Amino acid sequence: MLRINRNIFLMVAGLLLSFGCKAQAFCPVCTVAVAGGVGLSRYFGVDDTITGLWVGALIVAMTIWTLEWLKKKNFRFWGERTIVTAAYYVMVALPLYWNDLIGHPLNKIWGVDKLLVGIILGSVFFFVGGTIHFKLKDKRGKVFFPFQKVVFAVTPLIILSGLFYFLTR
């Protein structure tokens, strides 16, 4: 079984995240909010369903950033959306599985692993919130209020986090 040293992972992740670029999809503020939510929830021992919401949103944000970067570099290939999306989910799910964070028989909600439920719901609601922002912006030609993109992307996660907090008590 492959075990990843936490300190090495954090150093590599920090190094990779230090190379900034202009974001076209979801802004860095909401991505930092998502990453902060994941870190804080694990630190404070929050239920895995809630943590999964933020992990799913982070996967969506990283997927969209990658697709935008590939588009900007004119690097196109067959099935790029499917391949990039699947790659991110596999890169997240496998280490969670290998480190026994996914798959524990007593860590289930609705018969499915809590972390997986959270990842799926977080992915869907973060994507839908961001899509609503872009639709409203396209319709009006500009945003309705400052930080609209952040509000529309992160608010569904906050609401779901509250719901799962009370459901899993």
Query: 19-68, pLDDT tens digit by residue?
Result: 555 444 445 555 556 556 666 776 777 888 888 898 898 899 889 888 98
pLDDT confidence of residue 86:
92
Query: Over 50: is that where the pLDDT of 2 sits?
Result: no
Q: Which among 156, 166, 169, 168 is positioned nearest to 53, based on CA atoms?
A: 156
| pLDDT range class, residue 146, cuts 50, 70, 90 | confident
Phi, psi dihedral angles at 13 (to 5 degrees): -60, -45
pLDDT at residue 123, rounded to an integer: 93
Asked if 37 and 148 count as a contact pair (C-beta separation under 8 A), the reply is no
pLDDT over 70 at 112, yes or no: yes
Here the tokens at position 26 are 């979801």
Distance CA 115, CA 101 (A): 8
Residues in the chain: 169
The token duo for 47 is 């239920």
Residues 116-145: tens digit of each pLDDT: 999 999 999 999 988 888 888 888 888 788
Residue 143: Cβ-neighbour burial (10 angstroms; 0-12, 13-18, 19+) = middle
**pLDDT at res. 8:** 60
> Which tens digit of pLDDT belongs to each residue from 64-111?
888 988 999 888 888 889 999 999 898 888 877 777 778 878 878 888
Contact criterion met (CB below 8 Å) for 67 and 80: yes
pLDDT score of 168 = 76
- Would the pLDDT of 18 be above 80? no
CA distance 51 to 41: 6
pLDDT for the residue 23: 44
> Could you tell me the residue ranges of all domains in the chain?
32-167
- The whole-number pLDDT of residue 122 equals 92
CA 48, 49, 53, 59: dihedral to nearest 10 degrees? 60
Residues facing residue 113 across a β-bridge = 108
Q: What is the DSSP string of 87-145?
A: HHHHHHHHHHHHTTSS--TTSEETTEEHHHHHHHHHHHHHHHHHHHHHHHHHHHSS-SS
pLDDT at 143: 79
